[in-house]
Copies of this chain bind each other. A is one copy, B any other.
């Protein structure tokens, strides 16, 4: 496969004041077009350093895609740097000047010399039209066939030019028939190292399809990526591997290709026409927020109580004050009472409750920071778990929220214990 490197240009990227999202967009579209990306770079608005970076990358790769530095200001020097690398001069592109003149007339603004300078491109290059702004892009090709393609840095200008102008020409040039198709399995209740342990032999024998494990807070993704000529052959390559992985991670794969845990839980509840309420102490509203973020949640989600102080647990959920005294607010007993209370008070089939020590204060030897009791009441009974989650307060809350979603998903998915 051909391989291309990406060079994002702009001093603001190096000061950390702007997160570069252009590079990921370009990388993904190149991968989809069957072009490998082995490295990306960000360089400031400095002609020598841009030229040096492009030069080094061009020695390794078949081509370079740059983004940024095509604007009208004096610190936009991408074109000059590309000319330096390729040993050519810039020349003004007459059709672009005409288009820009018409554009400036249409918006009633005077066109200045620095605007005209945007129509300069390396001599002999192919000009890429800009449907959303003034600066054209270009593909400058060296005698050995290697190329530098330069796109603007403004995201919507860059995206349109990449998709409509550059990619069709790269597909044509490289005659790429292979693209990358990705299948993602979303996993809960297993640590990254445990997943790795269960499937690492598949990592080793498999170059195409290729497997990657990506950890998030409380969940992991197993990605199966295949280079294939078309969707059908991709699916033929992915299917047996997916079946094998699902078998090894049985009871833990909750969704595929971007589905979220609250989405899956709501959808399983909807299938059974069960309604849901929540009662939260340490998660403080996050479990409710996770469900209510999903469009159409109101079919299934009745509401919730954030019973932060003990008095609220008693008043709104009917938890027995004596039980709080005896077992403590962070206990199996209170978690169950909260879940049962929420189901009763909201008149729902299912209720989910959390109570724990989010920290940083409030921990003890017996009940340390990170201990969370989670209960789910459902028509078959009540299931309760405790988890010990590491991290700062907001991490404990986030992980406890994930664990509660995971518990309820397990019940609804009829997971084997």
A residues contacting B by CB (< 8 A) are 11-21, 23-31, 37-44, 46, 49, 53, 56, 71-75, 106-109, 112, 114-115, 132-133, 154, 156, 180, 182, 191-193, 196-197, 200, 203-204, 212-215, 223, 225, 278, 280, 283-293, 295-298, 301-309, 311-312, 315-316, 345-347, 358-361, 388, 390-395, 397
Q: How far is the CA of A288 from the CA of B31 in the complex (A)?
A: 40
A5 to chain B, nearest CB (A): 9
A41: contacting residue among B28, B39, B204, CB under 8 A:
B39
Q: How far is the CA of A27 from the CA of B16 in the complex (A)?
A: 5
* CB-nearest residue of chain B to A41: B41
A285: contacting residue among B29, B106, B285, CB under 8 A:
B285
Known: A107-B390, A305-B305, A305-B316. 12 other contacts (CB 8 A): A17-B214, A18-B24, A20-B23, A71-B192, A73-B192, A107-B388, A278-B306, A283-B292, A285-B292, A285-B304, A292-B397, A304-B308
A166 to chain B, nearest CB (A): 15
A13 near B38: Cβ-Cβ < 8 Å: no
B28 near A15: Cβ-Cβ < 8 Å: yes
Q: How far is the CA of A56 from the CA of B60 in the complex (A)?
A: 12
List the 5 closest A-B pairs by CB distance, nearest first: A284-B292, A16-B28, A285-B288, A16-B27, A285-B285
B192 near A109: Cβ-Cβ < 8 Å: no
A293 near B394: Cβ-Cβ < 8 Å: yes
**A12, A213, A296, most chain B CB atoms within 10 A:** A12
Q: Which residues from B are CB-within-8-Å of A73?
A: 192-193, 196, 200, 203, 213
Known interface pairs A16-B26, A21-B19. Does A302 touch B292 (Cβ–Cβ under 8 Å)?
A: no
A118 to chain B, nearest CB (A): 9
Q: Which residues from B are CB-within-8-Å of A37?
A: 14-15
Q: Which residues from B are CB-within-8-Å of A303?
A: 305-309, 312, 316
Chain A contact surface mostly = mixed
* CB-nearest residue of chain B to A308: B303
* CB-nearest residue of chain B to A180: B15
Known interface pairs A24-B20, A292-B397, A312-B346. Does A212 touch B12 (Cβ–Cβ under 8 Å)?
A: yes
B31 near A24: Cβ-Cβ < 8 Å: no
Q: Which residues from B are CB-within-8-Å of A25?
A: 16
Q: How far is the CA of A39 from the CA of B45 in the complex (A)?
A: 11
* CB-nearest residue of chain B to A132: B391
A197: contacting residue among B42, B108, B114, B307, CB under 8 A:
B114
Q: How far is the CA of A53 from the CA of B168 in the complex (A)?
A: 30
* CB-nearest residue of chain B to A359: B295
Q: How far is the CA of A273 from the CA of B289 in the complex (A)?
A: 28
B284 near A293: Cβ-Cβ < 8 Å: yes
A284: contacting residue among B289, B358, B361, CB under 8 A:
B289
Known interface pairs A20-B20, A295-B360. Does A315 touch B345 (Cβ–Cβ under 8 Å)?
A: yes
B31 near A38: Cβ-Cβ < 8 Å: no
A115 near B193: Cβ-Cβ < 8 Å: yes
A103 to chain B, nearest CB (A): 8
5 contacts between A and B (CB under 8 A): A19-B21, A39-B44, A74-B204, A133-B390, A285-B306
A12 near B214: Cβ-Cβ < 8 Å: yes
Q: How far is the CA of A303 from the CA of B358 in the complex (A)?
A: 15
Q: Which residues from B are CB-within-8-Å of A307?
A: 303
B397 near A293: Cβ-Cβ < 8 Å: yes
Q: How far is the CA of A308 from the CA of B106 in the complex (A)?
A: 27
B20 near A13: Cβ-Cβ < 8 Å: no
Q: Which residues from B are CB-within-8-Å of A15?
A: 27-28, 31, 37, 180, 182, 225
Q: Which residues from B are CB-within-8-Å of A302?
A: 308-309, 311-312
A11 to chain B, nearest CB (A): 7
